[in-house]
Amino acid sequence: MGGLSAAIRLQNEGYDVEVYEKESIPGGKMHQIKTGGYTFDVGPTLVQIK
Amino acid sequence: MMASFMPDKDLQQMLSFQTLYIGVSPQKGPSLYNIIPMIELLYGVWFIKGGMHTMAISMAKLFEELGGKIHYNANVDKVLTANNKVKGISVNGVEINGDYVICNADFPYAITELIEDDNLRGKYTKEKIEKMEYSCSCLVFYWGVEGEFPELETHKQILKWLQRVIPVSMF
């Protein structure tokens, strides 16, 4: 989301921005799982340096 | 610290447990995380229709509407540098040059794997990164449940005082 936020702001400022995303969908850690008719939000279950 | 301003333990918990989201004790957490209870109290906690991922999809849509381009399935192998400056990236082995590069990958991964030149990592050497300790974030359960629960609001928090604070958040 940090990448998309930066991309939107810079594109809006007039920069020519291209985003390279490893996955096939946007959002990074903010992911979504659909299974058995239910939808689960996957949040920032990431680690951070102390 | 908080106890010197607020004698009430429930209030202390309510305003201090948020650092546990990043696996850090409220006693050691950076004051930056006061932003979270501040936002909760001043603006409330909301649920986006379709789930949080709708936010990501909508931001990607906005970016593209502004004329930006997103390359999916595009794995960045390296951040390319020359003369102590970033000059571009390598994507699936193809070199792409740019005036500026903004990297939003996880920092330890990016600095050790994407930057090749040891001299450009500054104080974040591979050795230093390897020695750093990681904290655990939340223990999260995803439950698929039947029915509706009107008595539970979005982001309902149940605090229990044992020897440590144990917050439970319902989304």
Q: What is the mean pLDDT of chain B?
A: 84
Dihedral sign, Cα of residue B136, residue B138, residue B142, residue B145: positive
- Measured between beta carbons, the chain B residues lying within 8 angstroms of A1 are 55-56, 59
Q: Are B122 and B128 in contact (CB under 8 A)?
A: no
CB burial class (10 A; 0-12, 13-18, 19+) of residue B37? middle
Q: What is the pLDDT of residues B81-133, one digit of tens each?
A: 999 899 999 999 999 999 999 999 988 899 999 998 888 888 898 889 888 88
Test the A interface: residue of B45, B52, B140 with most A CBs within 10 Å: B52
Cα gap A48→A29, rounded to integer Å: 13
Q: Where are the domains of chain B?
A: 2-46+141-165, 68-131
Token pair, residue B125, equals 């050497």
Give dist(CA B68, CA B108) in Å, integer.
28
Evaluate if pTM is beyond 0.95: no
Is the pLDDT assigned to residue A48 strictly greater than 50?
no
